Structure 1
Amino acid sequence: MAEVLRLDGIRKSYNVGTPVETEVLHGIDLTLQARDFLALMGPSGSGKSTLLNIIGLLDRPTAGRLAINGEDTGELGDAALTQLRGRAIGFVFQYHYLISAFTARENVMMPMLVDRGRPDSAMERRADELLDRVGLSRWRNNSANNMSGGQQQRVAIARALAMDPDLVLADEPTGNLDTKSADDVFALMREINRERGTTFLLVTHNDDLAARCDRIVRVVDGVIAGEGN
């Protein structure tokens, strides 16, 4: 099975070279294969957010190696990192971050528009296909601010899939939802994982949701403290 993500000895320090230099990640090793569905758990301040930013290519590690689809990201400049992030990684956050005045279709088109520069009919077809997949065909012309929280998060998942990424990073994606909507959103991500083979890394504090993942990795004080199935 193809290796989607590999972290070898990832360390991250802030205020490097100053008397208050602080290391918050202390040598993280982690591998994700295609079709993995992993829950990342840990207390507040454990380093989860820092680790997620590094995996998402939003920040660079101080030391260690990070590879996406076998490509060493440490060898890439900022422009190449941005391109790789846009094409290989999808993001779903606790808050959906949709553009409220845009329709559901327009929001899903945004990653493709950023990548290609201008809209075309193929983008619209792709957006409509994804909205159909997440059960929102009837709402594709609704503005984002005219949808429920669960519907907005479904649009956010469709947007995360717009570029057909190998890896989706979901940071507390059900944290703002009621129990029923949270369960529906989780089930949707699980279906996409199984049907499309998309790898998911899910940050959650919800033990029940984590128990439904294939793997659970716990981060405590900047190190991986344990892993289970």
Structure 2
Amino acid sequence: MADVLVLDQIRKSYNVGTPVEVEVLHGIDLAIRPGEFVALMGPSGSGKSTLLNIIGLLDRPASGRLLINGEDTTDLPDAALTKLRGHTIGFVFQYHYLISAFTAAENVMMPMLVDRGHPDRQMEERAAELLDRVGLGKWRDNRATNMSGGQQQRVAVARALAMDPTLVLADEPTGNLDTASANAVFELMRQINRERSTTFLIVTHNMDLARQCDRIVEVVDGRITPARQPPG
């Protein structure tokens, strides 16, 4: 089975062609296997956000190859990248970015609606199934503004799973939550990973959470340091 994600000598520069051109990623090599649960760590300014944008097909590298499920994305046009991203990658952010006027179910349906253009019964059933899965079945008709921070982030996790992605990218998904809610959201993602073999790459500054991942990838000054296995 092909690796879910392969980065081969990925480089990225800003202000290209100007006197202040700077390279922020220096030949990144990384492979993530199907079903892995990986923490991505590094100090501020290390290149994590730039790397995550490239992995999420939101930005293109200056050079190198990026493969998703064995497909080389290097020469894909923007429309093909958008389609690939929508069908294979789910996103969970530090802030949930729910639409406050929408119900929990409507928020979960959004990726499917963007893909298909109109709502249908199948979308509604999928949203209900996912909200049940994250423990919010009874709240499916609640507006986002009437939910706690932890509940809203659970809706965001359900939304990330709407298209049944191969890879979920989570950028500080517990950063805005209290400790109890953070642990609950993290454990929810871990449980989904174990039950469905969904691959997760989680950016976090929380070493306690990182230690519960399969391995830790650390980015320092635009380079990946030698791989670390969580203790224990």
Q: TM-score, normalised by structure 1?
A: 0.99
Q: What is the DSSP-based 3-state SS (H/G/I as helix, E as strand, rest coil) of the residue aligned with 2:4?
A: strand
| Contact 2:2–2:70 (Cα < 8 Å) also in 1 | no
Percent identity among equivalent residues? 78
- Find the counterpart in structure 2 of residue 29 from structure 1: 29
Number of corresponding residues: 229
Q: TM-score, normalised by structure 2?
A: 0.98
| Contact 1:219–1:226 (Cα < 8 Å) also in 2 | no
Q: Could you list the runs of 5+ residues in structure 1 that have no partner in the other structure?
A: none
- Find the counterpart in structure 1 of residue 78 from structure 2: 78
CA displacement, residues 61-84 of structure 1 (integer Å, 9 cap, x when unaligned): 001000001111112100000000
Q: What is the DSSP-based 3-state SS (H/G/I as helix, E as strand, rest coil) of the residue aligned with 1:200?
A: strand
Q: Does 1:197 align with 2:202?
A: no
CA displacement, residues 132-191 of structure 1 (integer Å, 9 cap, x when unaligned): 000000000000011000000000000000000000000000000000000000000000
- Find the counterpart in structure 1 of residue 51 from structure 2: 51
CA displacement, residues 67-122 of structure 1 (integer Å, 9 cap, x when unaligned): 00111111210000000000000000000000000000000000000000000000
| Contact 1:13–1:22 (Cα < 8 Å) also in 2 | yes
Within a 5 Å distance, the mapping from 1:140-179 to structure 2 comes to: 140-179=140-179
Within a 5 Å distance, the mapping from 1:1-229 to structure 2 comes to: 1-229=1-229
In the alignment, the residues of structure 2 paired with residue 189 and residue 113 of structure 1 have an alpha-carbon distance, to the nearest angstrom, of 23
In the alignment, the residues of structure 2 paired with residue 5 and residue 174 of structure 1 have an alpha-carbon distance, to the nearest angstrom, of 23
Q: Could you list the runs of 5+ residues in structure 2 that have no partner in the other structure?
A: none
| Contact 1:10–1:64 (Cα < 8 Å) also in 2 | yes
Question: Quick one: which amino acid aligns to residue 214 of structure 2?
Answer: D
Q: RMSD of the alignment, in Å?
A: 0.6
* Regions of 4+ moved over 3 Å: none
Question: Quick one: which amino acid aligns to residue 11 of structure 1?
Answer: R
Task: State the Cα distance separating 1:2 from its structure 2 match.
Answer: 3.5
